[in-house]
Structure 1
Amino acid sequence: MRQHQPAHPLLADRGFYLGPMFRRAADRHGAVFVTLDRPLDVDPDLGVDLSYPVLADVVEELSGRLWEAGVRPSEQVVVHKTDNVDIMLLTCAVSLIGAVPVLLSPGLAGPVVGQLLERLHQPWLITDRAKLDGPLTDVDVSALVRQTLSVDDAPGAVPLEKYAGAEPPSPVRLHPRDPALITHSSGTTGVPKLAVHCPNTMWNRLVPQQAMGWPTRGETAALHMSFVHSRFYHLLGVLLRFGSPLVLITDPDPATVGPLLTRHRPGIVETHPNTFVLWEELADAPGAPLSRVRSYGSTFDAIHPRTVRRLLGASRRRAPWLIQLYGQSETGPVAFQWFTRRTAARADGRRVGIGIPGFTRVRVTDDSGRRARPGEPGRIEARTRGRILTYLGAREQYQRQLDGDGWWEMGDMGYRSRLGALYLIDREIDQIDSVHSNLEVEDTLMSRLDELREVVIVPGADGEAVPVVCVRGERPLDPARWQEATAGLPPLAEPRQWRFEVLPMTATWKVKRVEITRMLTESARA
């Protein structure tokens, strides 16, 4: 399969390859430290204090095991295991021998994993006992994959340890426009789609992110991100290029993250917007863990202005900033927005910025497909060199979101200002007739009620706007404060208070609004 979208001839052969990243970084920068919050499942004896060269050795050693097991170039290798940093190392090892990593979130339900495996072409599967004995128990894995490899002693699987010590083969470099990575969409509206990336489109996402990362080159970076999302690998590519020490976090609990950040004093922190809400409490934590942060990175979803203000206020650097990237798995970042302490004080959470010059363009169209006037709501569309090749097994669905000129429907509603800034209203599927913007109401409530961990406005069983709220510490919501906070807002149903852990989430902590509506509807019928 080759890339079908047009590319500039000078850029057509450029590619971003995951396999050699750590070795190149080790050769360039030497023994830069990499700290983990838990040992690797593929080699627990290494501990948690590692380095670029150590991880380069692990990637190459794993590539030798995979080659000895029989994995060959262009074959699909699914990585679906318990969440840990070795998901990333296995991905790099698969890529190093020219095979195609297929990254499935550890949080996916077993039946969903089974459906995604069916869309693939008899892939290899790398997993563990926890998955095979847990979510995958009722999935006929053996009928769907070529062979199952395990990072531990899972029954019915071939342990990768069997091939320990195998000689790593020479690295294999795929054509820049051939499939090289498969990730999945968020699945907020149903079964996730499998997004096919190639080295060339990945390179076109990497370059602008390198430019954004230039001011913080070499700063220690603390990351808590989904290891199955393409954004993680692009950010990793940027940080390795500049020689940044890394703190890779699997468990986002502030009680463990706080001391870890206090010890390493990162200058760069990136995580999911909902994790940043959780980490607001680190702003006043003992040891001031965020005091040295110069740059925060937020992607996957819009971030609440309250959270931006608290994060920037926690830094003691002279001029810290937060950069928000707007995009999706299919496109990569298509717009960006910078916040400083001054701009955050009057930030509009719906403003997601402007297109990336030279790489992306963004427009808003009306129902007839014409460009909407400034301020007029419509469908957000993007044109980018970083767009995926296709949806595996769903080519028609891919084509439906793409017009003949290469404009991609983002599935969001928004508008543009007279100066060209893009404002996000809602996902098209989430709109409620009585509410102009669910997201705007949520931002307002989060700003007025400091005790909220999350608030989500969804259509209820009768189409009314239902607020689902999560309160810090699971304290009861104060009815008087809620009534005061909702003054002047569109009519809302009585709030439903849920524990945060009950909210259905994607791998990047995006709330599955459609699933919440389904849960509310079923509850109303019970």
Structure 2
Amino acid sequence: MGVLFDECADRGHATTVHLDRVFDIAPDAGIVHDIPALAELVRATAGWLAAAGARRGDRVAIVKDNHWDYDLLACAAVRIGAVPAKLSGGLPPGSLAVLLGRLDPAVLVTTATVLSAAREEGVELTALSRVTVDLTGADPMARTVADLRGHDAPPPVRPSDDAPLVIMHTSGTTGLPKLVAHSTGTIIGALARMEATPTPISVRRTDTLANLSAYAHGRTFCWTASALSLVPQRILVLTGADPDLADPVLRAHPPTVVEALPATYVRLQPLTTRLDNAFRDVRLFMSTYDAMHPPTVRAYLAASARRRPLWMQGWGQSETGPITFRFLTRRAADVRDVGRPVPFRTRLRVVDPDTLVPVPRGHPGVVQVRTPARCLGYVGEDDRFAGKCAQGWWNTGDVAVLSRTGRVRLLDREVDRLPGMSCLAVEDLVEDLLDEVVECVVLNRRGGPPLPVVVTADGTLDRAAWTAAVADLPAMADPLVLGWDDLPRTGTGKVRRTALLAALTGSAATAGTGRWT
């Protein structure tokens, strides 16, 4: 990964990259880049990281605003033999302090905004690394890129396949995120190489590939490798989910393949109903990270003018990469059926959550998986990682049913499970039946009925329509209506269910055990 852009440039890859805003590491370089320019940017970044004191085997922590230059910084760190750790700039300062304490980075690359926000909470992030580099050049306690620029990058270092290559964190929906360490063998050899293998539906040289993601997470590091290898005509990088800001960028370069966060798909869904919608030429939509809900999938597939557009839904984790996948169509949009295990690479079984004994097909249980893409471990939490491993099987903490034909139907996270009820299924049903509901979150709580929280555009809910929609469902508390921004979210847009439950009820106790969170 340290020489990925160099190798693509040497091979004459003609991909053009269009950004919705300039890179934080190169604010004067504009919003259009070719591969040789990106290769030079990675080399220059490697030079100033080395000048900041990053050496082979050191960790380089990256905390900043959402943008693809997270991965350019990561590639630059890999190039000099360091291990990049990508941390979302949206993490609370207290969480950042804990994670940086576990990482003990030689260099922290961040911004004055992140540093000042932490100080307001009584956290001094510059004290948690040997050197702090402020990309904005505005913090008096940090080095600036201008101070460090101009140093030649040292010769590239190629890490061994089983050594730590990159560190990222999990979403953190149930509490403090875990720091997940991957190697070249796991995230590149087992994941990116598979994705970069040409297939009838994979990215083509004529495609415009749009990514609207959370670039601090591990998925985009893998995507960067596979996307560049497949050489699309252009790559479109978007960093936010404001429909009014995204629409002109998407319409200027109408995508043919789109990958986005589930929450971003929801926020941009109003664009699908515009006459000249930006998704009219999309042949393939892709989603990972979180559960999609049927109305959103149908809206985008209907917006495409292609005869048979596809939606590829992947289910997996930061620790494993994709476990299963399936294709959804206009006629088949059952999002709870997440398909079958990735062929020739992934095995899974469903076990009783109390005994860990496999249950018969058709019975719910916790999913365990075997995959060569499983991460190396959790930084600073060896016991926690070991507690999720059992004789080569990885415990996902997800509750599902494995059908007789090998298909997986997701029900809930184990921490959220309720006997006789699937919170995810209820959320699907509510969003399907009530057009006014933008998002529904069903919180299970210990000692009380499930608590539904709904997001609507105008902050109101037709109570009679709600009563009719849930009439045949298990008993729930009266719904609470909140705005989109009222829900605590992770960097990937997932609702932080535990934090929301605690804020609304005063207790974070759920009906599940949370053993594998």
Per the normalisation by structure 2, the TM-score is 0.93
1:298 maps to what in 2?
287
Work out whether residues 208 and 359 of structure 1, in 8 Å CA contact, stay in contact via their aligned partners in 2.
no
Q: Which runs of at least 4 in structure 1 moved beyond 3 Å after TM superposition?
A: 211-214
CA displacement, residues 148-206 of structure 1 (integer Å, 9 cap, x when unaligned) = 11112221001121122221222111111111101111111111111111100112011
1:86 maps to what in 2?
69
**Could you say if the C-alpha distance between residues 29 and 453 of structure 1 is closer, same or farther in structure 2, counting changes exceeding 3 Å?**
farther
Query: Distance between the aligned counterparts of 2:350 and 2:342, measured in 1?
Result: 16
2:219 maps to what in 1?
231
Work out whether residues 432 and 463 of structure 1, in 8 Å CA contact, stay in contact via their aligned partners in 2.
no
CA displacement, residues 249-277 of structure 1 (integer Å, 9 cap, x when unaligned) = 01111112122111111111111112112
C-alpha deviation, 1:212, in angstroms:
7.1
Work out whether residues 59 and 107 of structure 2, in 8 Å CA contact, stay in contact via their aligned partners in 1.
yes
* Residue in structure 1 matching 2:51, options 57, 68, 76: 68
Query: Distance between the aligned counterparts of 2:224 and 2:126, measured in 1?
Result: 33
1:500 maps to what in 2?
484
C-alpha deviation, 1:31, in angstroms:
4.1
Query: Distance between the aligned counterparts of 2:274 and 2:38, measured in 1?
Result: 32
Report the residue type matching 2:406 in the other structure: G
Report the residue type matching 1:179 in the other structure: P
Work out whether residues 71 and 224 of structure 2, in 8 Å CA contact, stay in contact via their aligned partners in 1.
no
Report the residue type matching 1:160 in the other structure: V
* Residue in structure 1 matching 2:23, options 40, 47, 51: 40
Describe how 1:326-405 pairs up with structure 2 within 5 A: 326-344=315-333, 347=334, 349-366=335-352, 367-404=354-391
C-alpha deviation, 1:136, in angstroms:
4.4
2:82 maps to what in 1?
99
Work out whether residues 83 and 106 of structure 1, in 8 Å CA contact, stay in contact via their aligned partners in 2.
yes
* Residue in structure 1 matching 2:163, options 178, 186, 209: 178
Query: Distance between the aligned counterparts of 1:368 and 1:385, measured in 2?
Result: 25
Per the normalisation by structure 1, the TM-score is 0.92
C-alpha deviation, 1:461, in angstroms:
7.1
1:482 maps to what in 2?
466
Query: Distance between the aligned counterparts of 2:182 and 2:163, measured in 1?
Result: 8
* Residue in structure 1 matching 2:263, options 249, 266, 274: 274
Query: Distance between the aligned counterparts of 2:294 and 2:63, measured in 1?
Result: 35
Query: Distance between the aligned counterparts of 2:348 and 2:492, measured in 1?
Result: 24
**Could you say if the C-alpha distance between residues 212 and 511 of structure 1 is closer, same or farther in structure 2, counting changes exceeding 3 Å?**
farther
CA displacement, residues 62-94 of structure 1 (integer Å, 9 cap, x when unaligned) = 111111222111100000112233222211111
* Residue in structure 1 matching 2:113, options 120, 125, 130: 130
Query: Distance between the aligned counterparts of 1:212 and 1:504, measured in 2?
Result: 39
CA displacement, residues 299-334 of structure 1 (integer Å, 9 cap, x when unaligned) = 011211221111111111122101111111111111
Query: Distance between the aligned counterparts of 1:350 and 1:123, measured in 2?
Result: 43
C-alpha deviation, 1:25, in angstroms:
2.3
**Could you say if the C-alpha distance between residues 20 and 213 of structure 1 is closer, same or farther in structure 2, counting changes exceeding 3 Å?**
farther
Report the residue type matching 1:385 in the other structure: P
Work out whether residues 469 and 497 of structure 1, in 8 Å CA contact, stay in contact via their aligned partners in 2.
yes
C-alpha deviation, 1:523, in angstroms:
9.4
Work out whether residues 375 and 418 of structure 1, in 8 Å CA contact, stay in contact via their aligned partners in 2.
yes
Query: Distance between the aligned counterparts of 1:143 and 1:470, measured in 2?
Result: 40
2:494 maps to what in 1?
510
1:430 maps to what in 2?
416
RMSD of aligned alpha carbons: 1.7
Work out whether residues 298 and 325 of structure 1, in 8 Å CA contact, stay in contact via their aligned partners in 2.
yes
Report the residue type matching 1:45 in the other structure: D
Instruction: Give the count of matched residue pairs.
Output: 501
Query: Distance between the aligned counterparts of 1:439 and 1:239, measured in 2?
Result: 31
2:195 maps to what in 1?
209
Report the residue type matching 1:454 in the other structure: E
What's the secondary structure of 1:312's corresponding residue? Answer: helix
C-alpha deviation, 1:233, in angstroms:
1.6
Work out whether residues 31 and 53 of structure 1, in 8 Å CA contact, stay in contact via their aligned partners in 2.
no
Query: Distance between the aligned counterparts of 2:254 and 2:186, measured in 1?
Result: 34
Query: Distance between the aligned counterparts of 1:141 and 1:257, measured in 2?
Result: 32
Query: Distance between the aligned counterparts of 2:466 and 2:409, measured in 1?
Result: 27
Query: Distance between the aligned counterparts of 2:288 and 2:198, measured in 1?
Result: 14
Structure 1 unpaired stretches of 5+: 1-17
C-alpha deviation, 1:460, in angstroms:
4.6
C-alpha deviation, 1:284, in angstroms:
1.3
2:296 maps to what in 1?
307
Query: Distance between the aligned counterparts of 1:20 and 1:146, measured in 2?
Result: 26
Query: Distance between the aligned counterparts of 2:275 and 2:242, measured in 1?
Result: 15
What's the secondary structure of 1:26's corresponding residue? Answer: helix
**Could you say if the C-alpha distance between residues 523 and 393 of structure 1 is closer, same or farther in structure 2, counting changes exceeding 3 Å?**
closer
Work out whether residues 302 and 352 of structure 1, in 8 Å CA contact, stay in contact via their aligned partners in 2.
no
**Could you say if the C-alpha distance between residues 136 and 248 of structure 1 is closer, same or farther in structure 2, counting changes exceeding 3 Å?**
farther
CA displacement, residues 43-63 of structure 1 (integer Å, 9 cap, x when unaligned) = 211111222222111111111
Aligned pair 1:320/2:309, yes or no?
yes
Q: Aligned residues: percent identity? A: 37
